[in-house]
Structures are given as C-alpha cells and as structure tokens.
Amino acid sequence: EAQVTQNPRYLITVTGKKLTVTCSQNMNHEYMSWYRQDPGLGLRQIYYSMNVEVTDKGDVPEGYKVSRKEKRNFPLILESPSPNQTSLYFCASRGQVYYEQYFGPGTRLTVT
Amino acid sequence: SQKIEQNSEALNIQEGKTATLTCNYTNYSPAYLQWYRQDPGRGPVFLLLIRENEKEKRKERLKVTFDTTLKQSLFHITASQPADSATYLCALAFPLYNQGGKLIFGQGTELSVKP
C-alpha cells in the first residue's frame, strides 16, 4: 500500500530537549516536505526536499532542521524545542503525475 | 504576498443538496490548483487538480472550476451525503521551477451534511 508514515504520532516534551520526528514514504517520490498546522493559520510549509541531499526552507523554517540522506526518509529535527512549536505536524511526498501531495497521519507535538 | 481565502464560515447543508465551496486568491498566478479533504486528526487527502488553462474538472460527484480572471475556484459536491462531512482545503501551486512547485494552502472550509 502506498503510504507516508510518521513517528511518533503523539509527543509531549519539555523545552530544550532535542527531538526527531521520522517520516518515510514507499512511493519512490523525489519531492518531500514538512508542514505544521495551527488553528487559524492553516498548513504552512517548514522545509522541503527536491531529492536526496537537496533541501530548502519553506515559509516557517526557524527552529527546525531536516536531512535527506535516503530518498524514502525525511526526518524533522527540533534541536531545542520551544512552546511555540506546539503544533500538528505533517510530512508529505509528492506524486509525479498530478503533483498530488500524499500526507502522513500527523504528529501532534506538545512542548511544555 | 500571496493570500488565499476560503469560505470563512462552516457550511451546513442538507443531504442530497449541492455543496459549493469557494477559494479566492490574490497577488498570485498559480500553475495549478488542488483540492484536498481533511478529516479530524488526519492528514489531508488529495481530491482533484485543475490547471490554469482548464475551466472545469469533474470526478464522480465532484466538480471544480477555475477562473483565473476572477482569481477564484469553486468546488462542488453534488448529491451530498453525511459521509462528505469534512474540512476541504484548496491549495495553489507555484510553477515547478519556483521553489519546487510548492503549495500554499487555504485555511479550509468545514462542511457538515445533515441527514
């Protein structure tokens, strides 16, 4: 089954404790991205990757890092999380025909 | 900067009626526009794409129109069913040579179909 998986699904952490949210897709897509979704602000792109070792900032990259060492994986790293990073995070990969985004199930992060 | 607006209020309709959702944009000329469905606590799911040179697209009970002069897209669900209740997002795409063709999402319209 074609899918994007994310882990963990839920995470509660404290300010300053580094964390990584993993993302993996099994569709051989080149383009992947991370979004955060907040009430009243909608989905906003954090980082995107055009292919292995090619990443770039989206609209809200501050406080986040990413890496793309393999085509299927695109982890999101929060080096020093802060409460304003409490949000619902989605990883997505993009199809090559209709450029449709396939979203993961989401990771709900709470930083206290 | 680019701005996308969808129906600001939730839309409540009776089963069997046609739901019409609106997406307006400014300061932008998208290469194409997409519509997604999002259920509570889940990731958005792609429904339809319409390109800038297309006026209308259909898929089963769904129909999307795209008016680049008005800078507006309309999303219709005919013969609506309670199972259609969800939040619907429109997304505008940059051309592929611009930031990899990234998407900008509207905030979504929550649709509720009553039996």
* Regions of chain B where pLDDT drops below 50: none
Q: Is the pLDDT of residue A17 over 90?
A: yes
Q: Between B93, B102, B107, which is nearest A58 by CB?
A: B102
Joined together, the tokens standing for residue B89 give: 């997002």
- Closest A-chain CA to B44: A103
A57: left (phi over 0), alpha (psi -120 to 50) or beta: beta
pLDDT at residue B73, as a whole number: 95
What is the spatial distance between Cα A46 and Cα A92, in angstroms, rounded to a whole number?
11
- Closest B-chain CA to A39: B107
Joined together, the tokens standing for residue A51 give: 């292919």
Cβ of A50 under 8 Å from any chain B Cβ?
A: yes
Report CA B16 to chain centroid distance, whole Å: 20
For residues A3 and A102, the answer to whether their CB atoms sit within 8 Å is yes
Contacts of B91 in chain A (CB under 8 A): 101
Judged by CB atoms within 8 Å, which residues 55-84 of A form the interface with B?
56, 58
Cβ separation A33–B102 shorter than 8 A: yes
pLDDT at residue B91, as a whole number: 95
More confident of the two residues A22 and B98: A22
Q: Between B41, B99, B103, which is nearest A101 by CB?
A: B103
pLDDT at residue B22, as a whole number: 96
Cβ separation A105–B93 shorter than 8 A: no
For residues A55-66, average pLDDT? 96
Q: Is the pLDDT of residue A79 over 90?
A: yes
Cβ of B105 under 8 Å from any chain A Cβ?
A: yes
Contacts of B45 in chain A (CB under 8 A): 103
* CA of A91 vs chain B CAs: smallest distance (Å): 9
For residues B40 and A90, the answer to whether their CB atoms sit within 8 Å is no
CA angle (A22, A25, A26) in 5-degree steps: 140
For residues A12-18, average pLDDT? 97
